[in-house]
Chains A and B, each alone.
Chain A
Amino acid sequence: MEVKDIKIKGIPYDEFKDNDTLEKYVEELRANGVGIITGVLDDIINWGRSNSLWPLTFATSCCGIEFMAVGAARYDFARFGFEVTRNSPRQADVIIVAGTIVDKMAPVLKRLYDQMAEPKYVIAMGSCAISGGPFCNSYCVVNGVDEFLPVDVYVPGCPPKPEALLYGMMQLQRKVKMERFMFKDKEVKENE
Chain B
Amino acid sequence: MDYAYFLVTLITAIVLVIGGLGLALLISPRSNNSQKREAYESGIPTRGTSWMQFRVGYYLYAILYLMFDVETVFLFPWAVVVRDLGISGLVSILFFLLILVLGLAYAWRKGVLEWK
Contacts and interface: CB of A to CB of B under 8 A. Distances in A.
Whether chain A touches chain B in the assembled complex (some CB pair under 8 Å): yes
B35 A115 contact: yes
Interface residues of A, number: 24
Range of interface residues on B (Cβ < 8 Å):
10 to 19
Given A108-B44, A109-B43, A188 B35 contact: no
B30 A187 contact: yes
A45 interface: yes
A119 interface: yes
A184 B31 CA distance: 12
B40 interface: yes
B74 to A, nearest CB: 36
27 contacts: A88-B40, A89-B40, A108-B43, A111-B35, A111-B43, A111-B45, A114-B33, A114-B35, A114-B36, A115-B35, A115-B38, A117-B36, A118-B29, A119-B29, A182-B27, A183-B27, A184-B29, A186-B29, A187-B30, A187-B31, A188-B30, A189-B31, A190-B32, A190-B33, A191-B33, A192-B33, A192-B34
